[in-house]
Chain A
């Protein structure tokens, strides 16, 4: 397994492995976007016909690209036809069903590529069995400058307005009262599931769930955050910025308010390609997205990331930073993280920054 940050050349490592092995090779990637990126890379590099399995295609060739979904469904049939299997974004592999893709393959040569093998369920421990041990690992800090763009991160603390503060505190209290009264420990692994279950069975539970959502929404999209976004869009009017939100609702709100294109899971492929090309060629200078650009998709010219809101996941945060780190000339990248002060978002932010890239 090779662990390298986004933009550090994982694809190049894979191409060299295919060249070195001289065996039929299968590349497994998590999304159809990545499958088409791999298809282009392999076709251009090796000049041969490249097979595709997934998204309605079923063409097997000595060089083939597929999704994790198709791989676990079909590996039983073609698992004996490849000497080398490359698992891109291999942190997906240890899932209950996806791991079948590795177990049903006979390939003696295996390569896993990821920036962040660690998973919330700790199942990364299965990766050595499914692929092999980690043979090379470098993190963002070690590679920035020479191999990745130089970068800085800035955490901007946002104060809620007095009205927002009052509503936030009240909603938070309602939610916490319920959790306390039910004896639910939100820090335990089952805490969240327990809260969902119990909140459905009583009036006070439903009120607590509504209050939970309200306080989260206030923290995620505080009015003052939008003021900062306006300022940053002006400051970086000549750069290429990606704004990240935790939910679609905030992404569309920002799109309407600042008249920047949005990409969510509801955006059709043609429109999405048009927006990304617009960003690459400079007719668009900013795009707002919820989670769909977190992983894999190449946006080489982007140099500004603005985290309007997000989860507590370290991986998500590192991946978002990775979107702007691809080296291009003397590009210098910056990541802004907008955090509502004295709200639960402060803890969420602290959790997701537990990575060397943010120290």
Chain B
């Protein structure tokens, strides 16, 4: 991924815009990218400093300096350098330098150290050649790390990656992001929301009269801690958006040393073109519950949720799992709020109170300090506060209680 200092941007009033690679220059930039990729591939076996020297030897126009640094960074991201060494270089250095110091002392002020002869002896003791001994001596310095592998990519794909990475680098500086997503089918919306949840992004969603969804996502700069990890997750939202039918993104970013507040806008999507859609995975705790529940299921069947509950003007509830009672057909939904905030829990309660009638179980981690009693009795919902892992047996108890309450006449 690129860092903010490698991104080519222009400021226009309060807007931050990326400087695009012009169509007429694209072929030349692609040739440059191909050159860097070819260098990296040919340097496998060499050191990092040799690789960097080979990169430095490629001529380019001075105005492209930032673009070139970005291409080199993305090429380096695909390089694998040797990190574990057979010999501990610091121990080797200690042995070599101690012997050299002792030898110098023996020779006294008039003698001259025969370096080659000493290296011969030391290399024999280490069971290596003198050349290898010298190479191993400082093999732990970053510039001497060996390039042991390179993940190939085509030059045009590197350019596309550069463009995506530039957009992602801007999002790393976001305070808040508002996205409007248009999909052509309900299934596509479900897939989108599942991916959003998989990324563990803090968001609020609402359905617009047009049928599209507007999602407000907190940016890393609005958080107090773990900014880097969250920023990376937010950056991963972009590839998800690019797989949607159409999207518009508007972000408030803090840019530059002065952290100036600027607006950044993007739009895109497949727009009818066919694209390879990546699989929507479940978050770990939801997968674990889905796998573990059948042993405790009793009369309940569990499946991945497919519904989105939308209350116009209020918000959206997106469950993770759906449970169906085999005998009565009673259906309840579960949402895991593992990475959310306290505020998000109360927002869900508001949504239920505002009219979302479906029975719900919310699994809330104990760290959010929410009591199971906060839910009003009038709601067909249950809070399950868990410590560490979600226990299927306790989920089932909540489901049984919800189903029982439904059957009990008032």
Contacts and interface: CB of A to CB of B under 8 A. Distances in A.
Do chains A and B interact in one complex?
Answer: yes
Interface in B95-127: 96-98, 100-102, 104-105, 107-113, 115, 118
Interface in B364-391: none
A259 B63 contact: no
Contact of A256 (B101, B112, B137): B137
B118 A206 contact: no
Contacts, number: 72
A286 B101 contact: yes
Nearest to A237: B104
B101 A260 contact: yes
Contacts of B111: 234, 237
Interface string B30-50: 000000000000000000000
B121 to A, nearest CB: 12
Interface string A265-291: 010101100100010000111100000
Interface in A104-142: none
A237 B107 contact: yes
Contacts of A202: 62
A166 interface: no
Nearest to B138: A252
Contact of A203 (B62, B96, B112, B141): B62
Contacts of A258: 100, 113, 115
Contacts of B108: 234, 237-238
B63 A201 contact: yes
B62 A200 contact: yes
A199 B297 CA distance: 71
A257 interface: yes
Contact of B97 (A238, A257, A260): A260
Contacts of A286: 101
B134 to A, nearest CB: 6
Contacts of B406: none
A274 to B, nearest CB: 7
Contact of B104 (A206, A255, A278, A285): A285
A200 B109 CA distance: 49
Nearest to A205: B62
A235 interface: yes
A230 interface: yes
A85 interface: no
Nearest to A200: B65
Nearest to B109: A235
A243 to B, nearest CB: 13
A278 B98 contact: yes
B341 interface: no
A318 interface: no
Contact of B105 (A200, A238, A274): A238
B93 interface: yes
B228 interface: no
A284 B97 contact: yes
A234 B101 CA distance: 10
Nearest to B93: A261
B108 to A, nearest CB: 6
A168 B65 CA distance: 27
B281 interface: no
A283 B101 contact: yes
Given A237-B105, A259-B96, A268 B90 contact: yes
Contacts of B101: 260, 283-286
Contacts of A252: 138, 141
Nearest to B96: A259
A233 interface: yes
A337 B399 CA distance: 83
B400 to A, nearest CB: 49
A274 B100 CA distance: 16
A259 B118 contact: yes
A281 B354 CA distance: 79
Given A261-B93, A284-B97, A234 B138 contact: no
A227 to B, nearest CB: 11
A256 B98 contact: no
Interface in B80-101: 90, 93-94, 96-98, 100-101
Contacts of A206: 62
A257 B62 contact: no
Nearest to A233: B104
A266 B65 contact: no
Contacts of B142: 266
B98 to A, nearest CB: 6
A302 to B, nearest CB: 14
Given A234-B110, A234-B111, A260-B100, A285 B62 contact: no
Contacts of A201: 62-63
Contacts of B93: 261, 271
Interface in A193-240: 200-203, 205-206, 230, 233-238
B97 A261 contact: yes
Contacts of B134: 256
B123 to A, nearest CB: 12
Contact of A234 (B62, B94, B104, B137): B104
Contacts of A235: 109
Nearest to A239: B109
A234 B97 contact: no
Contact of B98 (A238, A257, A284): A284
B53 to A, nearest CB: 12
Given A234-B109, A266-B142, A285-B101, 17 more contacts: A200-B65, A201-B63, A202-B62, A205-B62, A230-B112, A234-B107, A234-B113, A237-B105, A237-B109, A256-B134, A256-B138, A258-B115, A259-B113, A260-B100, A271-B90, A283-B101, A284-B97
29 contacts: A200-B65, A201-B63, A203-B62, A205-B62, A230-B112, A230-B113, A234-B109, A234-B110, A234-B111, A234-B113, A235-B109, A237-B105, A237-B108, A237-B111, A255-B138, A258-B100, A258-B113, A259-B113, A260-B97, A261-B94, A270-B90, A271-B90, A271-B93, A274-B94, A278-B98, A283-B98, A283-B101, A283-B102, A285-B104
